Copies of this chain bind each other. A is one copy, B any other.
C-alpha cells in the first residue's frame, strides 16, 4: 500500500510552486483572516449576477464569537459559513508545517480556542444552527451543511495536529465524532442519513488516519453506505419540515437526488452526476475508504466514476462541471467552453479524488489529471497576488456577451476579492498550500518512492533520499541525486506531454522498464547522480470528435501548461484567428515582454479571417485573410493584467 509522505519530509525549493507557497503564507492567509474578521476594505461579489442573496461581509469568525457567547448579535452569511474558517485553518496548518511561524501559530491557536468555545457540551458545532435555527438542527440534511462543516473541521484538526502537535483541535474533533456517533447510525433511534453535501466522510477518514479512532472509520463507512439507500430520505425530511410548519430552505435544483448525489448508494454509482463538488468529495472519500477496507465493490464504483470523469467529462484545463444550473456535471462529452461552470473547488475535489485513486493503484493516469488540474484549472482560481479569486474558470470569454447575456452571468473576467458564497478562496489556499504532497509518494512495503511531479525539491522517507535539482518548468532537465540504505525502487513518472524522455547517469543512458506510466529503476543508491531529460515541444491538442464544443477547434499545450490567448496580446478579435497543428508545431517560445514571471509566451503564425461586409449575413462577401501572430500565455495566468477576452480552443484553419 502506498502512503502519503508527511509534508515536512519533503522540501520544496523550486521557483514555480515556492512562489505560491510563499504568496499563500505572506498574502493569502493574512488577507483571508482579515476577510473572515470583516475587513472593511473588501468588496464582496455574488458568484452569479442572477443571485439575490448579497452578503456584505463574511462575518465567519464573528459567528463563532456569537455562538460562544463572547459577542452578541445574530448569525450572518451562508448556512455553511463556518467551513470558510475551517478551510482557512487547514491552509494555515500546511503553511506552519512547511514554514513554522510563531506569530501565525498564535493567531491560529486563538481561532482553535474560539472554535472550542463555540462547541456545545455535547460536541455539536454549527454556528448557523446554534445561533439562528436551533429548531432545525439535523432536520434539513438536504441543505443544512452541518456535517459538511464538521467534516471541514475534522480535516483542519487533523492537519493542525500534524503541523503543530497541538492537540486542541483534535480534542474538538474527537468531541464532534462522539457527538455524531450519538446521533447518526443504523439504530432505530438514530438518524439514518448523511449530509446533502459530502465532506464529513473525508474528515472522518483523515481523523482516523491521524488517531486510528475506529469510531471515525466506522462512521465514514456508515455515511458512505447510508447515502442513497433510501432515495427518498431528503424528500421525506422536507415533507416532515413542511408538515411541522418549519421552513424548507432549499434552492431550486434540476433534480434533487442527483444534486445531492444521493440517487443511489455510492457502491452502485457508475458515472459522475449532479453537483460536481459533492460528487467528487464523495468519490474521494469512496476511494480513500477503499485504502482502509479494501472494499472491491466500492473500488469498482470508484473506477467507473473515474473513467467517466477523466475520459468524458473533463475539460482540458482540469475543470469539471458543465453547467451553472446545479453547479453540475451534464452528459458525456458535453463540454461547452463559454457557459460551463468549472468551479475552482470542483477541480480541487477532482485532484483529491485522483490522489486517493492513485494511493490505491499508482498509475500515471491519476497523476496526469492531478497535474492538469494543478497547473491549470486550480491555479487559475487565484490571481498571482493570491488575494483575488475565481469561482468559475471559463475556457472562453467575450466581454460583450458576458455583460449582456444572463446565461453568462456566472462567468467573471476579473477575479473578485471575495464572494457571497466563499467556498473557493480558502479551498485554493489549502489545496495549493499543500501541493508538495503530490511530488513524492512512498510504498514502504516495497521499499519504493514515486516521483510524480518534477520540481526542485527533496524527500527523505523510509531510508530513501532523493533530491531533484531542476528549474523545471523553466527547463527540461532534472539532476536527480539518490541515496538509499539498501535495495529500493525509484519510480519516475514519464509525463504524457514529454518527448524523448531519457534517464542517464554519468553520460550513459539508463535503461528502464515502463510500468503504469512510470520509469522503474531498481537498485541500491549511493548518492547516485542521474540526469532526467525530455523535450517539451509546443503541442497541438485535438479533442475527441465526440466533443461537439471543440469541433473544428485546436488547443495549445506545452509541458503541463494549457495555453490561452488573451485579447490584450492580440490585435484582432480572438474568434477571427485560425491556426493549424502545423502552425503550433512551428511556434516560437518567447520570454520577451513576458510580464508574468518566467513562463514564456508562445507565438504562433496564425491567419485571421475577416468577412469584408457590414451586413449581418452575406452571400458574396469577400473573406479577407491576413497573417497575424497569435500570442498565447499559460491558462493559469490569464486575467492578471486587466479585463480581457480569452480563448483556449482556437478555430482551426
Shortest beta-carbon distance from A363 to chain B in Å: 15
- Which residues from 547 to 604 on chain A have a C-beta closer than 8 Å to any C-beta of chain B? 547-548, 551-552, 555, 557, 573, 575-576, 578, 581
Whether, in the assembled complex, A250 has its beta carbon less than 8 Å from a beta carbon of chain B, the answer is no
**How far is it, in angstroms, between the C-alpha of A405 and the C-alpha of B328 when the chains are bound?**
9
Point out the residues of chain B lying under 8 angstroms from A336, CB to CB.
405, 407
Whether, in the assembled complex, A497 has its beta carbon less than 8 Å from a beta carbon of chain B, the answer is yes
Instruction: Please tell me if the beta carbons of A401 and B616 are within 8 angstroms of each other in the complex.
Output: no
With A50-B254, A334-B405, A339-B339 known as contacts, the answer to whether A543 contacts B325 (CB < 8 A) is no
- Which residues from 318 to 357 on chain A have a C-beta closer than 8 Å to any C-beta of chain B? 322-326, 328, 330-334, 336, 339
Stretch binding the partner chain, chosen from A59-67, A199-207, A534-542: A534-542
Instruction: Please tell me if the beta carbons of B616 and A400 are within 8 angstroms of each other in the complex.
Output: no
With A314-B616, A325-B407, A331-B403 known as contacts, the answer to whether A609 contacts B552 (CB < 8 A) is yes
Point out the residues of chain B lying under 8 angstroms from A407, CB to CB.
323-325, 336, 339, 407
Contact with B along A388-418 (1 / 0, CB 8 A): 0000000000101101111101000000000
Q: Which of B50, B545, B576, B616 contacts A310 (CB 8 A)?
A: B616
Whether, in the assembled complex, A191 has its beta carbon less than 8 Å from a beta carbon of chain B, the answer is no
Copies in the complex: 2
Instruction: Please tell me if the beta carbons of B616 and A312 are within 8 angstroms of each other in the complex.
Output: yes
Shortest beta-carbon distance from A45 to chain B in Å: 17
Chain A: interface size category = 35 or more
**How far is it, in angstroms, between the C-alpha of A547 and the C-alpha of B52 when the chains are bound?**
31
Shortest beta-carbon distance from A596 to chain B in Å: 24
**Beyond A254-B409, A542-B617, A544-B615, 13 additional pairs, beta carbon < 8 A:** A310-B616, A311-B616, A316-B617, A322-B405, A331-B403, A332-B400, A540-B619, A541-B618, A542-B611, A542-B621, A548-B573, A551-B651, A552-B651
Residues of chain A at the chain B interface (Cβ within 8 Å): 49-50, 52, 252, 254, 310-312, 314, 316, 322-326, 328, 330-334, 336, 339, 398, 400-401, 403-407, 409, 497, 539-548, 551-552, 555, 557, 573, 575-576, 578, 581, 609-611, 613-619, 621, 623, 651-652
